[in-house]
Amino acid sequence: MKIGMFDSGLGGLTVLKEFVKKYPNNIYIYYGDTKNIPYGDKTKQELIKLIREIITFFEKEKVDMIIIACGTISSMCLNEIRQMTNILIYDVISPTIEYLQKTNQNKIGIFATNATINSHIFKTSLKNKKILEIATQEFVPMIENNKIDLNIIKKYCNQISSCDVLVLGCTHYPILEQKLKKYLPDVLIINMAIPLLNKVKLFNDSNLSREIVSNEIVLYFTKKSDTLLQNINNVLDFPYKIIFL
Catalytic residues: 70, 170
User: Looking at the DSSP assignment, which residues form a beta bridge with residue 188?
Assistant: 165
What 3 state SS string does the chain have? CEEEEEECCCCCHHHHHHHHHHCCCCEEEEEECHHHCCCCCCCHHHHHHHHHHHHHHHHHHCCCEEEECCHHHHHHCHHHHHHHCCCEEEECHHHHHHHHHHCCCCEEEEEECHHHHHHCHHHHHCCCCEEEEEECCCHHHHHHCCCCCHHHHHHHHHHHCCCCEEEECCCCHHHHHHHHHHHCCCCEEEECHHHHHHHCCCCCCHHHCCCCCHHHEEEEECCCCCCHHHHHHHHCCCCCEEEEC
Instruction: Output the pLDDT for position 205.
Output: 52
Supply the pTM of this predicted model: 0.93
- Written out in words, the top-level CATH class of the domain with range 94-192 is alpha beta
CATH 3.40.50.1860 in the chain, residue ranges? 2-91+196-244, 94-192
- Which pLDDT tens digit goes with each residue over 176-233? 999 999 999 999 999 999 999 999 977 665 555 556 665 699 999 999 988 999 999 9
- Which pLDDT tens digit goes with each residue over 27-79? 999 999 999 999 998 999 999 999 999 999 999 999 999 999 999 999 999 99
Give the least confident one: 33-42, 131-140, 146-155, 198-207: 198-207
Closest CA to 174 of 94, 119, 236: 236
Bond preceding residue 38 cis, omega within 30 of 0? yes
CATH 3.40.50.1860 for domain 2-91+196-244, yes or no, is yes
